[in-house]
Amino acid sequence: MSILILIAIFGHLFPCIAYLIAGKRAPFFYYLISTTASIVSFLATLLIATRNHDFFPFKLFSITEQIGIAFHIDQAVIVFALLCSFLSIPASIYAISYMHLNEANKKASFFSKIHLSLAFTMMLAFSGNLITLFIFYELLTLATYALVKHEDTEKSNKCAKTYLSYLILPSVALFLPAILITYTLTGTFTFNETLHVVSSGTPRVMLLLMFIYGISKAAIFPMHGWLPKAMVAPTPVSALLHAVAVVKAGVFCITKVVIYVFTMSDQANTQLGSILSYICGFTIIFASIMALRKESLKEILAYSTISQLSYITITLGIFTANSVQHALSYMLMHAFAKITLFFTVGAIFSATGKMNKSQIDGIGRHMPITMISFTIGALAMIGLPPTATLLCKAHIFSEALSVKNYFIIFTLIVSTGLNCGYFLPIVFRAFFVDSGPIVRKRVLPYSLIFPYLLTTTVCIGLFVYQLYKNGILV
């Protein structure tokens, strides 16, 4: 089993080396290497998921008995690792096609950075202790920083510095000290039942705040500022940051902390749940209002991501036996929908050069497949059929009602209305407002269309599966 984990993790390192050695090659070379590596990583992860009962935690190497690189498996690991490894397949295909179509420079370097980021994401996913989690959290920051500044313009370099400062400084000032305090209180870094900290009081509250603000990849207000700045990067990077690697790594880290550092059934968590509810609730509504005010489609999606991430964290704050499962489900559904949205926005730009919502009048008539996929992704963000986030939101609503957390219910209702306010007008303008002939720069290749057709199909498929699982569809 340990061999499978190493294959799942290090499979993405092979393309990094291959691209740098090979240099500039034909697109087929990139497709072959990237797709093969991504499929191998996914298949290894799938085998791990089906045989996880045979797995025992193991250390890759140790410095001391407590400090070392260790890997383990639990429910959260399986969901996050499967999600990342599967989405790396369409993300790799899309990135190669997009960069070739838009005649981007330094392709070999770009694809190497993409796979390095995916490798660090997989390493973070399988982390077996807080030290391993922190190390790969930081390495992921550095790898994606290189992607944000890839174009090497004055604007991209400035935004990359903002990105780095938002992610590195909080992690060093808050995340790392929180880990050390946890070790002082428990005597261990390992993810197991002995990691739980003191049962009540101020230390728990302060520790929770240090973790959620130190893990700034989760983009909880006011640690969200890096995310819109990262939109300066090419669209494939935006898709990677917002759906596969960085933001999901943030909420995954918080999920691990909530599960192992704070018990899920302790009555003392009522206070912690209230704190998380108010912080995340404010983030959800604030980001949704900001999205309403934006003109650029990528900026709208950026603030939508900030809002949607806090759906996951606010669900964890319910602190019930089912809340982790519902949070992981929402993370899964959101990832497929959000990457679909970024893929389609990139396709619109590649075909027409348009990137603002005021420029897409009538575009649904000229690019129906692309805009139908965008619409499915938008409906998922709102929580409407035929997408599985409808049932995910219903479960979160029910769970919040069971613990009488009416603020979460209020937040869900208000944010759903705001989501309608900034997504539905885009869909309406694309299909029902005629702007006359649209000049297309180029016809999109199937290699660019296939990735979002795949993720759109999965969005609908997950909805059907949820209906069947809940006994609604027999």
Beta strands in 97-231 (DSSP E): none
Buried-state track 220-243, b at ≥16 Cβ within 10 A, e below 16: bbebbebbbbbbbbbbbbbbbbbb
Helix (H, G, I), strand (E, B) or coil at 317: coil
Please enumerate in sequence order all residues whose Cβ is within 8 A of that of 61, keeping only pairs 6 or more positions apart, or say none.
68, 69
Structural domain includes residue 297 = yes
The span from the CA of 344 to the CA of 243, in Å, is 14
DSSP 10-68: HTTHHHHHHHHHH-S--HHHHHHHHHHHHHHHHHHHHHHHHTGGG---EEEEESSSS-E
Of 179, 180, 171, which is closest to residue 137 (Cα–Cα)?
A: 171
Structural domain includes residue 189 = no
- Taking a C-beta distance cutoff of 8 angstroms, is the pair 211, 203 a contact? no
Considering all CA atoms of the chain, what is the largest pairwise distance in Å, rounded to the nearest integer? Answer: 69
Residue 290, pLDDT score: 94
Q: Tokens at residue 23, please?
A: 């240099």
The span from the CA of 378 to the CA of 422, in Å, is 9
Q: Tokens at residue 473, please?
A: 């569809």
Task: Give the torsion through C-alpha atoms of 246, 251, 256, 258, to 10 deg.
Answer: 160
Residue 51, pLDDT score: 79
Residue 317, pLDDT score: 87
Of 352, 367, 350, which is closest to residue 103 (Cα–Cα)?
A: 350
Please enumerate in sequence order all residues whose Cβ is within 8 A of that of 6, keeping only pairs 6 or more positions apart, or say none.
none
Q: Which amino acid belongs to residue 424? A: L
Please enumerate in sequence order all residues whose Cβ is within 8 A of that of 231, keeping only pairs 6 or more positions apart, or say none.
238, 296, 298, 299, 302
pTM over 0.75: yes
Residue 342, pLDDT score: 92
Q: Tokens at residue 315, please?
A: 């669900």
Structural domain includes residue 441 = yes
Start-to-end C-alpha separation, the chain: 36
- Taking a C-beta distance cutoff of 8 angstroms, is the pair 156, 105 a contact? no
- Residue given tokens 């400035």 in the structure block: 158
Structural domain includes residue 324 = yes
Q: Which amino acid belongs to residue 440? A: R
Of 247, 293, 292, which is closest to residue 421 (Cα–Cα)?
A: 292
Structural domain includes residue 381 = yes
What is the full per-residue pLDDT of the chain (474 aa) written as tens digits?
678 888 888 888 888 777 767 666 655 676 788 888 899 999 999 998 887 655 667 777 777 777 888 888 888 899 999 999 999 999 888 888 887 776 556 677 778 888 889 999 999 999 989 999 999 999 999 999 988 887 778 888 888 888 899 999 999 999 999 999 988 888 888 887 666 665 555 678 888 999 999 999 999 999 988 888 887 777 777 787 777 788 899 999 999 998 888 876 555 577 788 889 999 999 999 999 999 999 999 899 999 999 999 999 999 988 887 888 999 999 999 999 999 999 999 899 888 888 888 888 888 888 899 999 999 999 999 999 999 999 999 999 999 998 888 999 999 999 999 999 999 999 999 898 876 666 566 678 888 899 999 999 999 999 998 888 777 765
Please enumerate in sequence order all residues whose Cβ is within 8 A of that of 193, keeping only pairs 6 or more positions apart, or say none.
none
- Residue given tokens 């997950």 in the structure block: 462
Of 315, 325, 324, 338, which is closest to residue 409 (Cα–Cα)?
A: 315
Task: Outline where 102-129 has alpha helix (H).
Answer: 107-125
Burial of 64 (0-12, 13-18, 19+ CB in 10 A): exposed
Q: Tokens at residue 380, please?
A: 């998922």
- Taking a C-beta distance cutoff of 8 angstroms, is the pair 256, 286 a contact? no
Q: Tokens at residue 398, please?
A: 């029910």
Range of the domain at 355: 264-473
Structural domain includes residue 37 = no
Residue 240, pLDDT score: 76
Task: Outline where 102-230 has alpha helix (H).
Answer: 107-125, 130-148, 154-170, 176-186, 202-214, 226-229
How many CB atoms lie under 10 A from the CB of residue 185?
Answer: 16
The span from the CA of 302 to the CA of 298, in Å, is 6
Structural domain includes residue 452 = yes
The span from the CA of 282 to the CA of 278, in Å, is 6
Burial of 466 (0-12, 13-18, 19+ CB in 10 A): buried
The span from the CA of 405 to the CA of 393, in Å, is 15
Structural domain includes residue 1 = no
Number of domains in the chain: 1
